Amino acid sequence: MFIVAMEPSILTSLLSTPERRKIFDELVGGFRMGELTSLLLEVFRRKTESLTPQDILDAYTSNRFVAPAESDAVAMQAFGLSLMKEAAAHGFTTIGLSPAAPLGASSVVAPCDQNKILSALRGTEAVSDPTNVLALEASVRRRDARRNAGTRMDTIRLSALQRVIRTPPPGDPRFRPHFDLFGMTSAGHDRGTTWIEEEIVHHVSTLVALSHDGIAGAAAHRDIRIAFRIHDRRPAIDRLSTNVMGRIAATLPDIVIEREYIPQHDQPYYKGLRFKLSLRHEGTWYETGDGGIVDWTARYLSDRNERCVISGIGTEFTHRLLMLKKR
């Protein structure tokens, strides 16, 4: 059962009396997660007892979260398979993720608003980004290896093709509640900036290959752009971006590479360096993916020497763009 966050005005109206606010505070702070789950499960069970088949049909036609995708399912499955094979050729292990993640998987370690996530019962939420869950899985594997062998394991590279669901503002035609994302996550241990440099180059090279080879012959290297966004003006980050750009230019000389320094936000999603992937079609650049450095595995494992790089592409938009280019 998924719970969509209420508008603030609705919540304010519902909590307009001291008695209701007291009940709300008790629900939030007075119950353990398992107890609250049991209570809400019974609430929803009783709610469904009053529903009719016509109610369900009406909900199916009016609820934007349950409408089927408009894309060609067969074409998207074939494209997704080509992405997974290409990522595997670059050393990423593709895993099948659950449709659900632990509650807070997106908002606890990253500056995401939980109201934009489809929260659920039983301590879960709908997956809104595969890289969040891949970072969790990588953390578990690194923790277990350390416990079993007493040493830190080599770099873990995981990928996943995932149908994700989010809660964008209703009525905005630019956003769809659910869509496919292909995500990649690398997790390893600090070796100065060497590990980060190697993994960013690896992710960028893989993203270029996914764009170039996902549909054979659709995108030439000259129509692929990697734009680096530098959030941290420390010399180490500047050297890192310079080294990464140099290595990419040496191995992929025909792609477009850019760098831009932008102000650091109070709670940045990426730590120091971000890269964006774009494809050019008829003279216009379209952003299809991004990636960068995050601190999620370090926070999960309480080890500031843990390092993590993530990246991903929107598969439906990328596929549509590549098909247009191939015509």
Name the 3-class secondary structure at 139.
helix
Q: Please report, rounded to a whole number, the percentage of residues in the chain having pLDDT higher than 90.
A: 63
Mean pLDDT of 34-45: 90
The answer to whether the beta carbons of residues 315 and 78 sit under 8 Å apart is no
Residue 47 has pLDDT above 50, yes or no: yes
pLDDT at 161: 98
Q: Please report, rounded to a whole number, the percentage of residues in the chain having pLDDT higher than 70.
A: 93
CA distance 144 to 217: 42
The answer to whether the beta carbons of residues 36 and 27 sit under 8 Å apart is yes
CATH code of the domain made up of 73-326? 3.30.930.10
Residue 2 has pLDDT above 60, yes or no: no
Name the 3-class secondary structure at 80.
helix
Taking all residues of the chain, what is their mean pLDDT, rounded to a whole number?
A: 89
pLDDT at 13: 80
* Residue with more model confidence, 237 or 193: 237
Mean pLDDT of 210-216: 80
Binning pLDDT at 50, 70 and 90, where does residue 29 land?
Answer: confident
Domain boundary assignment for the chain: 2-62, 73-326
DSSP letters for 4-16: PPPPHHHHHHHT-
Residue 4 has pLDDT above 50, yes or no: no
pLDDT at 152: 62
Chain centre to alpha carbon of residue 255: 25
Order across the sheet with 124-126: list the strands. Answer: 2-3, 119-120, 124-126, 100-102
pLDDT at 171: 67
Q: pLDDT for 188-207, tens place per residue? A: 998 776 899 999 999 999 99
pLDDT at 1: 43
pLDDT at 160: 98
pLDDT at 317: 92
CA distance 118 to 123: 12
Q: pLDDT for 73-101, tens place per residue? A: 999 999 999 999 999 999 999 999 999 99
> Taking the chain, what is the end-to-end CA distance rounded to the nearest angstrom?
43
Binning pLDDT at 50, 70 and 90, where does residue 306 land?
Answer: very high
CA distance 78 to 323: 13
Q: pLDDT for 245-290, tens place per residue? A: 999 999 999 999 999 988 766 558 899 899 999 999 999 999 999 9
Closest CA to 319 of 88, 86, 84, 72: 72
The predicted model scores a pTM of: 0.89
Name the 3-class secondary structure at 292.
strand
* Residue with more model confidence, 187 or 10: 187
Strand ranges in the chain using DSSP code E only, listed in sequence order = 2-3, 93-94, 100-102, 119-120, 124-126, 156-165, 178-189, 224-230, 256-261, 273-281, 284-294, 306-314
DSSP letters for 210-243: HHHHTTTTS--GGGEEEEEEE---SHHHHHHHHH
